[in-house]
Chains A and B, each alone.
Chain A
Amino acid sequence: MTDNRLRMTDDGLMTADNERKIRVMAGRFLEGETSLEEERQLTDLCRHTQLPPDLLPLREMLLALESVGSGTDNMDVRADERQTAGDTPPAKSRNLFAKNRKWLAAAAAVVLLLAGGGTLLWHQQQNQCVAYIYGKRCTDQAVIMKEVYHQISEVSETDIGVEEQLNDMFGIN
């Protein structure tokens, strides 16, 4: 495996091999195919090496980009740190959420519907007042409460009067 990394000579002069590599990497850089690490190496090399005249504009551009991009590099690093610390959800879980979003929405809707319906039903049952008079529904509170009073009174009348007891005893109707 060949070493594609660029190395400067001690005196800052460029070897033919390095020049070829710079040109290849500059080409890849302009195509947007280089990694951040490669871009850093290329910028360092361009900064400290005597470049042929046709590569000087490239050096200017790389140095300008470096000064502008230092902020964004830091942002990238911070983003990496956040992801490592678990502050943002990993891509896999985000995908899982996106994939099941329809089901989650449906489940949430069902739960809300049940909770709403249940609450309504519960509230209605807390103050229910209804009668079915020979199969016909009646919600007239006055009629219903009259019936309630009548029935409670009727079952509460368990004390049999003296006269009734005597009648029972002697078989008098």
Chain B
Amino acid sequence: MKKILILLLIVSASLTAYGQRGLHIDQLFQGRIIPQERMVETKVRGKMVAKYQLSYFHSLRFEATASEVKRIEELLDKDRQTSYQRVESKKALTIMLQLQPQASLNRYLCFKRTGNGKHMQVVVIYMEGTLSSLDKMNEILK
């Protein structure tokens, strides 16, 4: 019986251990900061995103208040690992994070907010795959 329980735990752990889990921003992806009814969430894994040299793509798009945006930025700051790029203008703020590779896959976290004021448009993307850099993504998109 003990062996069956251990097997159960291993199987469930292997099924859940993927994606942005383990990062601070996971709270946002779990719907703990912005409820799912207020956002557009996209999850694509496999051949559909292979043309972007990705194996997993998980994005959120929503409108957020200044306090919500501030909280999200704090979480992103906690997740800063190998590479960090922040580009800010009056109209937009873009933060790009390159995370520690996991199982030979490169991982990226991108954040963009546009607009100033009470309601801002926010896009948060978690990506993983063989994509060597985010500059490479620009080349792919051209």
Whether B59 and A147, one on each chain, are in contact in the complex, defined by CB atoms closer than 8 angstroms, is yes
Residues of A within 8 A of B111 (CB): 155
Residues of B within 8 A of A147 (CB): 40, 42, 59, 61
Residues of A within 8 A of B141 (CB): 152-153, 156
Whether B134 and A131, one on each chain, are in contact in the complex, defined by CB atoms closer than 8 angstroms, is no
How many contacts A-B (CB < 8 Å)?
A: 103
- State A118–B1 Cα separation when bound (angstroms): 19
Is A83 an interface residue, CB under 8 A from the partner?
no
Whether B123 and A155, one on each chain, are in contact in the complex, defined by CB atoms closer than 8 angstroms, is yes
Residues of A within 8 A of B23 (CB): none
Residues of B within 8 A of A151 (CB): 42, 59, 61, 123, 125
Whether B89 and A164, one on each chain, are in contact in the complex, defined by CB atoms closer than 8 angstroms, is yes
Whether B89 and A168, one on each chain, are in contact in the complex, defined by CB atoms closer than 8 angstroms, is yes
Chain-A contact segment, one of B66-74, B76-84, B90-98, B99-107: B90-98
Residue tally, chain A, CB below 8 Å to B: 36
Residue tally, chain B, CB below 8 Å to A: 42
Instruction: Provide 19 A-B residue pairs closer than 8 Å at the C-beta atoms, listed in order of the A residue.
Output: A128-B45, A129-B43, A129-B44, A129-B45, A130-B42, A130-B44, A132-B40, A132-B41, A144-B44, A148-B59, A152-B52, A155-B96, A155-B110, A156-B137, A156-B138, A160-B89, A164-B89, A167-B90, A173-B90
- Mark A residues whose CB is within 8 Å of B: 107, 110-111, 114, 118, 121-122, 125-135, 141, 144-145, 147-148, 151-156, 158, 160, 164-165, 167-168, 173
